[in-house]
Structure 1
């Protein structure tokens, strides 16, 4: 969370809290990658309420409107079928895999 908060000053964006602190959604740009990532996570007690879809949609729309159209990625554990459904619902397309913190994740991309 500290690295996400630290992105506001130099980059002008980061993650934002979802309704009542039930999770977060926003733009995260690891310094090791060329492209920013759309990230979202919702606490288990709030699953099924649409927070991930709504928060990710708002974050994605804001990212495209304020920082220009471009490719934005999401790295998703393929076992996380709920996150895969959110990515598809928002129009993401699969683009292969990546290694992240010792795990193999699917790469999804959003284009405006």
Structure 2
């Protein structure tokens, strides 16, 4: 079972993953098989860059994701990767970072 965040809403604006973007992320993960750390990292990078584009501030009322939304998006990425069998804690340890820092290199929100 894949855990998906609720659609996050604010007056005049909707944020978060649209179903097609979730499907792309999950399809990317499913196609990896037994990936290297670099392949998992590239998949994380792509989803984070897509989220950065949504959060670029050009949307109506857009001041970016709020704290709760950022936490939900990070949880979604983490849980989805875990459900696809990736050991994020081990990958983070091999890279010398904390698990919560796995997307920080690309994340602008």
TM-score range, shorter chain: 0.3 to 0.5
Give the structure-2-normalised TM-score.
Answer: 0.39
Give 1 or 2 for the bigger CA radius of gyration: 2
- Write 1 or 2 for the structure with the bigger share of strand: 1
